[in-house]
Amino acid sequence: MRKYLLLTACYLTAAFTRQTLAQSNYQTVFREINQEVLANSQAYETLKRSAETIGHRLTGSANGKKAEQYVYGLLQSYGYKNVHFQPFEVESWSRGDIHLDLINTTTKETAELRSVTLAHSPVDVNTTADIVDMGNGLEDDYLQNPGKAAGKIVFASLWLMPGSKEGLRNLHRSEKTALAIKYGAKGIILFNGVQNGVLLTGTASVTGKLNPVPAVCITYEDGMKLKEQLKTQSFSARIMMHNYSGPIKARNVIASIPGTKLPQEKIIVCGHLDSWDLATGATDNGLGSFSIVDMARTFKKLGLSTERTIEFVLFMGEEQGLLGSRAYVQQAIRNKTIDQVKYVFNFDMAGSAIGFTAGGRKEAEAFFKETGEQIKSIDTIFSNKSGAGGAGLHSDHQPFMLQGIPTASSASNMPSDIYRCYHADCDGIDLIRKPWMVDQVRFSVMMLYAIANAPQLPAQRMSDADTRQFLIDNNLKEPLRIAGDWRWKD
């Protein structure tokens, strides 16, 4: 018995020593990461240079190509010999002119409304029809009167209106447009919840291809005014627009650090480089994408090595329907390399990290919490608001998540008012503060280093059946079904 206790004690001591040594090694590396990024981060500076010399980064545009090349050059300058483009062909879309008239059907009085075209509206439009208020634009709104929208122009809120049923889940603008098309509408007018005359754009297509009807967005103020008017008066709308569309080639930008022991196991760190064309896309997603480029710089500068491969991917075409990330996943399936992708960190509008969320994978919560405590010991500004989080759609993690691959992102403490310029004409570099990007880089590099060296990953790829149930449990079946991304028969 004494011998057994002695052996047990030796075993526990050795195990504790190994664990303490591992944590001590992490702490040493974490301190090096912290010092390097605080002293030499270039994330904010490269974003600012992009905003000043390139402007917007619309996929398929000359600016988009310049942004691809700019990031490629940055990664090369940081010492990446394996940086490469991943080309893909898409149906491009860019806006032309738009004119929206509101016509009182009784008095015939006409007023022009400020508006912006939502992406993937038709190339040429000249249509007039009566307006019908469809509330939040959700399927329940149509089912209450299934024929109400047929032949009309739907008017609906992008946000959930005050007084909506408790627990109601909102849909993306593209899904609301798809419902309007399904119920026979001739067009859709959406209004946003951001005040002070802000106009928001974004894609109105669930497929990334042209819609058969126009979709436009108007301001909060005009939307609320029209909503009140429709209670007692009837109006029609005349929508005239011209846009541009045609096949183009875009390029994802990829660089990697090969793993030392498990090179076939990849941790993908991604974000979308593209932006809409109303402004320079500083928040969406220059904030995330140029932070990722600086994460790559930090790994190279410090010569950090990891057991698993870390692949940095800057996707194009996210704004038009996750085109670049879909192309990546489709190619990986064709090449039979999809099994190599073990984890995906997606940083979309991500800055000032104070924790990491595991995309709804509860089994990963402990890892993020425990690693977060080690990061917090470096700097308590990282408050470790880490956990399982929830699973969502409409960013570049989605195609991977639909394959059952675990995903993660970061939690932020940036002021919420900067997001009012999301997809808007006010999304410029003046919204961004350098410390947000510095914190995003240093804490993310620490977490990536830890997970790429973890003895066991905190979550594994799910089976097809488990993926289906996971999506149902996270209330994602309906939006995926509307978008045509629900591949199961039920």
Do 320 and 453 lie in one domain? The reply is: yes
135 in a structural domain: yes
Q: Which range marks the domain in which residue 444 is found?
A: 31-91+247-483
Do 278 and 418 lie in one domain? The reply is: yes
Do 325 and 467 lie in one domain? The reply is: yes
Give the end of a domain, one of 227, 243, 259: 243
Query: In the structure, how many helices (H) and strands (E) does the chain have?
Result: 13, 13
Do 330 and 403 lie in one domain? The reply is: yes
100 in a structural domain: yes
- Residue 123 has a pLDDT of 97
Report the largest interatomic distance among the alpha carbons of the chain, rounded to a whole angstrom.
Answer: 100
Q: Measured at the alpha carbon of residue 64, what is the angle toward residues 295 and 416, in degrees to the nearest 5? A: 55
408 in a structural domain: yes
**Do residues 187 and 240 lie in contact, with contact meaning Cβ atoms separated by under 8 Å?**
no
Do 460 and 408 lie in one domain? The reply is: yes
| CA-to-CA separations, 326 to 210, 236, 330, in angstroms, rounded | 17, 39, 6
Question: Closest Cα partner for 201 from 163, 241, 167?
Answer: 241
- Residue 10 has a pLDDT of 43
12 in a structural domain: no
> What total of structural domains would you count in the chain?
2
Do 238 and 252 lie in one domain? The reply is: no
The gap between the terminal CA atoms of the chain, to the nearest Å, is: 60
**Do residues 349 and 419 lie in contact, with contact meaning Cβ atoms separated by under 8 Å?**
yes
- Residue 91 has a pLDDT of 81
Which residues make Cβ contacts (< 8 Å) with residue 396, sequence separation at least 6? 270, 271, 272, 315, 318, 322, 324, 325, 346, 348
Give the end of a domain, one of 196, 218, 243: 243
Do 170 and 285 lie in one domain? The reply is: no
> What CATH number did the domain enclosing 237 receive?
3.50.30.30
- 320 dihedral zone (left: phi>0; alpha: psi -120 to 50; beta): alpha
> What CATH number did the domain enclosing 38 receive?
3.40.630.10
411 in a structural domain: yes
- Rounded to an integer, what distance in angstroms lies between the CA atom of residue 12 and that of residue 91? 60
- Rounded to an integer, what distance in angstroms lies between the CA atom of residue 110 and that of residue 117? 20
User: 3-state SS of the chain: helix, strand, coil percent to 5?
Assistant: 40, 25, 35
Do 85 and 108 lie in one domain? The reply is: no
- Rounded to an integer, what distance in angstroms lies between the CA atom of residue 103 and that of residue 299? 59
Do 46 and 181 lie in one domain? The reply is: no
Do 419 and 365 lie in one domain? The reply is: yes
Q: Which residues of the chain have pLDDT under 50?
A: 1-22
Residue the block writes with tokens 């099994």: 339
Do 173 and 307 lie in one domain? The reply is: no
- Rounded to an integer, what distance in angstroms lies between the CA atom of residue 253 and that of residue 87? 9
Do 49 and 107 lie in one domain? The reply is: no
Give the end of a domain, one of 243, 274, 292: 243
